[in-house]
């Protein structure tokens, strides 16, 4: 390995190669000097030394600037590769260790983590890879937590940002000294095995009163039970899991029916399920809760922008027509301070 480094040093200083790349990009030594903030003679000296080390002429000087030789064109390719490698290293270290920006600790409920949050973070990674400056040095840590646990973690300072939900007939969560950002509606769909609804007779919660149920987390189960009681029956619970994928798998195999947020199926769908938009199920409101001190941080703004771009949910089953229709979510997002 030492021999490799010695050979690399023998064919020219890396810094001089990067300077040459800047000159080739600018089209003249003078233009590069102005862009880099160096003196023109200093750049000329570096180029003379680089050509001596490499044993070739990299460019010819003309009244209109420089003209790269064949050797110069090849050297420019290598210079760009070196520059990209150095910037890539900086970006990798920044994303892995939070260098150059805050490391934002996040907590969200499982269906949000598996769906919109993962998609939004992936979008930020893709943007950073294309050279977008804003999210390039951001670093995020994700933990799964149901809303009550996430709020406790936020109050204790264990996380910087919590993603929560509350049903439309419930009071929104509040913590003094924190800002709540509305991320839109996430509708609840009734999931039934396809073979149980081939005739399309299931259109209301009351239509599944006699069928076994698959329930989610404690809070989701409480909501489902309340909605079923409002529809006039007590649900018969057979299975309990807070894993959205497991809920879908159980439904698809004919082991029961379930209520599941639409966002949970948008990014991870299981076949063999008929999702039904029943009016009685309504929607839950998804929010982000952020300490006042971080409410205007670029890391938070970039993540919220990415979430608006991917949206909580975009499609809704149409019960009457058996097709999908577009719905709006994460649009017109606004912020309000908590009391």
pLDDT of residue 206: 94
pLDDT in tens, 126-143: 776 555 444 445 788 999
Q: Is the sign of the CA dihedral 153, 157, 158, 160 positive or negative?
A: positive
Mean pLDDT confidence for 309-323: 52
Question: Which residues pair with residue 290 across a beta bridge?
Answer: 179
Beta-carbon contacts of 44 under 8 Å, excluding residues fewer than 6 positions away, are: 29
pLDDT in tens, 141-160: 999 998 999 999 999 889 99
| 8 A C-beta contact, residue 165 and residue 151 | no
Q: Is the pLDDT of residue 99 over 60?
A: no
| Superfamily classification of domain 187-283 | Periplasmic binding protein-like II (3.40.190.10)
Band of residue 89 on the pLDDT scale cut at 50, 70, 90: low
Q: Is the pLDDT of residue 332 over 50?
A: no
How high is the mean pLDDT of the chain?
81
**Which residue's entry shows tokens 């490391």?**
103
Mean pLDDT confidence for 69-92: 81
pLDDT of residue 163: 95
Cβ count within 10 A of residue 325: 10
pLDDT in tens, 285-315: 899 999 998 888 888 999 999 998 887 654 5
How many helices (H) and strands (E) would you count in the chain?
Answer: 12, 14
Q: Is the pLDDT of residue 279 over 50?
A: yes
Q: Is the pLDDT of residue 97 over 80?
A: no
| 8 A C-beta contact, residue 307 and residue 117 | yes
Q: Which of 50-64, 119-133, 210-224 shows the lowest mean pLDDT across its residues?
A: 119-133
pLDDT of residue 90: 59
> Where do the domains of the chain lie?
2-97, 103-185+284-337, 187-283
The yes or no reply on domain 103-185+284-337 and CATH 3.40.190.10 is: yes
Q: Is 157 exposed, middle or buried, given 0-12, 13-18 or 19+ CB atoms closer than 10 A?
A: exposed
Question: 2-97 and 103-185+284-337: same fold?
Answer: no
CA atoms within 13 A on the CB side of 103: 10
pLDDT of residue 297: 85
Band of residue 53 on the pLDDT scale cut at 50, 70, 90: confident
Residue predicted with more confidence, 99 or 109: 109
| 8 A C-beta contact, residue 227 and residue 216 | no
Beta strand 139-144 with 103-108 is parallel
pLDDT in tens, 35-47: 888 888 888 998 9
Band of residue 103 on the pLDDT scale cut at 50, 70, 90: confident
pTM over 0.75: no
Residue predicted with more confidence, 97 or 111: 111
pLDDT of residue 333: 35
Q: Is the pLDDT of residue 329 over 60?
A: no
pLDDT of residue 321: 36
Mean pLDDT confidence for 59-64: 90
Beta-carbon contacts of 192 under 8 Å, excluding residues fewer than 6 positions away, are: 202, 208, 211, 251, 257, 273, 274, 276
What DSSP string describes 94-139?
Answer: HHHH-TTS-EEEEEE-HHHIIIIIHHHHHHHHHHHHTT-STTTT-E
Q: Which of 205-214, 284-293, 311-320 shows the lowest mean pLDDT across its residues?
A: 311-320
Q: Report the alpha-carbon distance of residue 313 to residue 95 in Å, rounded.
A: 28
Q: Is the pLDDT of residue 72 over 60?
A: yes
Class of domain 2-97: mainly alpha
């Amino acid at each position: 390995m030492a021999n490799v480094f010695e050979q690399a040093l023998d064919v020219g200083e890396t810094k001089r190669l990067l300077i040459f790349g800047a000159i080739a990009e600018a089209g003249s030594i003078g233009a590069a000097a102005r862009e880099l903030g160096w003196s023109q003679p200093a750049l000329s000296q570096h180029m003379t030394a680089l050509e001596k080390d490499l044993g070739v002429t990299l460019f010819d000087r003309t009244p209109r600037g420089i003209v790269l030789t064949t050797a110069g064109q090849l050297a420019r390719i290598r210079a760009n590769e070196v520059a990209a490698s150095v910037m890539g290293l900086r970006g990798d270290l920044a994303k892995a260790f939070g260098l150059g920006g805050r490391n934002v600790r996040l907590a969200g409920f499982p269906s949000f983590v598996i769906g919109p949050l993962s998609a939004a973070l992936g979008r930020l990674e893709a943007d950073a890879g294309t050279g977008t400056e804003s999210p390039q040095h951001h670093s995020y840590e994700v933990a799964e937590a149901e809303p009550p646990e996430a709020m406790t973690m936020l109050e204790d300072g264990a996380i910087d940002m919590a993603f929560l939900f509350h049903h439309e007939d419930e009071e929104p969560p509040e913590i003094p000294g924190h800002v709540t950002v509305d991320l839109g509606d996430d509708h609840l769909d009734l999931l039934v095995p396809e073979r149980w609804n081939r005739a399309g007779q299931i259109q209301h919660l009351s239509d599944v009163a006699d069928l076994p149920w698959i329930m989610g987390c404690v809070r989701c189960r409480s909501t489902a039970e309340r909605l079923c009681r409002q529809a006039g029956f007590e649900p018969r619970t057979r299975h309990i899991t807070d894993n959205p994928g497991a809920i879908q798998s159980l439904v698809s195999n004919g082991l029961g029916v379930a209520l599941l947020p639409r966002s949970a199926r948008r990014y991870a769908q299981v076949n063999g399920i008929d999702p039904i938009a029943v009016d009685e199920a309504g929607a839950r409101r998804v929010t982000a809760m952020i300490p006042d001190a971080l409410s205007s941080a670029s890391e938070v703004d970039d993540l919220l922008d990415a979430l608006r771009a991917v949206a909580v949910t975009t499609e809704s089953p149409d019960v009457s027509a058996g097709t999908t229709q577009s719905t709006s979510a994460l649009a017109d997002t606004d912020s309000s301070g908590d009391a």
